[in-house]
């Protein structure tokens, strides 16, 4: 298992979702992905995207100006 980090800070949704989607497409089931964001909309959108694609949210760390979301890549790919 590896952890990949995506920097989506200063991007507005849906771009952080697209960056997440593009990163997940290169990962294997069981890998972890950490996405760094500033748009508060990601706390809704990235989990929603994960739900429809079968990935799990491990943690959402909401800091003062940044949000770090950790995803566990599921088995469905895409």
Distance between CA atoms of residues 73 and 78, nearest Å: 10
Q: Is 71 helix (H, G, I), strand (E, B) or coil?
A: strand
Q: What is the dihedral of CA 25, 31, 37, 41, to 10 degrees?
A: 70
Distance between CA atoms of residues 36 and 58, nearest Å: 14
For another protein, which residue of 10, 26, 29, 59 counts as binding (CB under 8 A)? 10
Q: Is 49 one of the binding residues for another protein (CB under 8 A)? A: yes
Span near another protein by CB under 8 A; candidates 28-36, 44-52, 55-63, 67-75: 44-52
Q: Is 52 one of the binding residues for another protein (CB under 8 A)? A: yes
Binding site for another protein (CB under 8 A): 9-10, 12-15, 17-18, 21, 38-41, 44-45, 48-49, 51-53, 65, 78
């Amino acid at each position: 298992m590896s952890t990949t980090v995506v920097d989506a800070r200063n991007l507005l949704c849906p771009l952080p979702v697209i960056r997440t989607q593009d990163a997940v497409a290169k990962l294997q089931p069981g890998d972890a992905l950490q996405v760094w964001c500033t748009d508060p909309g990601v706390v809704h959108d990235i989990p929603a995207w994960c739900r429809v694609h079968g990935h799990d949210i491990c943690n959402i760390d909401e800091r003062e100006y940044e949000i770090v979301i950790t995803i566990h890549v599921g088995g469905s790919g895409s």
